[in-house]
Amino acid sequence: MRDDISKLACISIKLGKASIELLESLTIPELNRIDRLTELKQFLNFPELVYIATCNRIEFVIYRQDSTEDVASLRNRILDFFFNSKDTARPNFEPESFRLYTGREVARHIFRVAASLDSIVIGEAQILGQVKAAHQIAQESGLSGAVLKRLFSAAYKAAKSVRTETELGKNPVSIASLVALRLDEILAELPDATFAIIGSGPMSPKMAEIIRKKSNQHILFVNRTVAKIEHLAEKYSGRAINLDEFLKGDLTTDIIISSTSSPQPLFDSNTLQNLLANNPKIYAFDLAIPRDFAPELAADKRCEIFDMEKLNTLSQKNRRERFKTADHAHRLIEEQLKIYLQKEITQMITPLFDTAMNESLTMAEEGLANLFKGKLSHLSQDDQALLLYWSRKVLSRACYLPARHLAEKIANSDIDHELRLSLITRNAR
């Protein structure tokens, strides 16, 4: 009998509890992400792993062969993997920087993440797509398997329930909307501001859309590969330019919005000095993890940088406004969690009832065979087959119905999950 639920574990690192430096250290560049995660999976010696990295969080979702290892020890092994070299910079962190989950709490947490109830912006529209993409990569690369597939499939259903049954889905918000709030204040002072959008990812067209609704001023679309942004320049009446050319500082730019996957900062003291040659002050929105603006630039008064930590502060207003809606969403999450747990526990304990099922069927078939030779010998072959069919049907339901009821009772119980399952397993021996 397999107890898959108690073998789930999750190590969560979220901006606010953890520093942006810690998130940067645990962010694996997309170019070598699969290879690096394959090494991590082998290092941990676990059968399934899903790695989720967004602008404000890192999630290690794991299915273990053995649930006896303390999740704090698992966290420490992951940290050993990332910081095993003397050359690797080790950021400051405390135990409180990490959120640790096991068993059903893993499912509850992933459900909340997918439904955007654990985001910087409650109801953020992008997070579900990011979770799906992370799981798909894990599935296609062999990092993840059947157990986590069931978990994430249930999480998608929970997210859909929240989207369709609460106000969160009717008025979707995002990190881009937080940037838009600050842009209103800047544009009130600089109505003729020139924008530069750095990167070719999904954030670039979102920001261009917001800018065009607020301003008709010039937009520079900047990327290492110009071909990837030419369509944006055409659509939003801007100009496509190579990153190296932009960093020379020959063009006037007031507001920079940067969201790339570069493992190293694009902007340091030298490039900033170039940009400031034609600009008395620059407003920058650094939406990247790792950051596109080097940390030391925060002290330069000529450049006001809004990174994910500052946007996290702005998000608190969003949390207060959506508090009541979030309450409803949490109730929906709990309902979907119970459905998931019932299915998992039913699958786990069903083998306990197989013996009773087989013995009951054997007894019924022997009894009916004797009746067909005696008192029921007048029945036709078709009638005998029909009676045998329905006997099997009723017995199957009667034998397995207790499993479903027991699973429902366990899923709804407040008793420690692992204790419940260990008692069932012990009684089954």
Whether the per-residue pLDDT at 417 is higher than 60: the answer is no
The fold adopted by the segment(s) 5-172+321-343 is Beta Polymerase; domain 2 (3.30.460)
Q: How many CB atoms lie within 10 A of CB 339?
A: 16
CA dist., res. 38 & res. 74, Å (int) = 17
Q: Could you read off the pLDDT of 355-382 as tens digits, one per residue?
A: 777 778 888 888 888 888 888 888 888 8
More confident residue, 405 or 182: 182
135 near 86, Cβ under 8 Å? no
CB distance 400 to 351 below 8 Å: no
pTM of the model: 0.79
163 vs 166: CA distance, rounded Å: 6
The residues with which 99 forms a beta bridge, in sequence order, are: 12
Condensed to tens digits (0 to 9), the pLDDT of residues 306-355 reads 998 888 776 665 555 566 677 888 899 999 998 898 888 877 777 777 77
Domain 175-319, CATH class in plain words: alpha beta
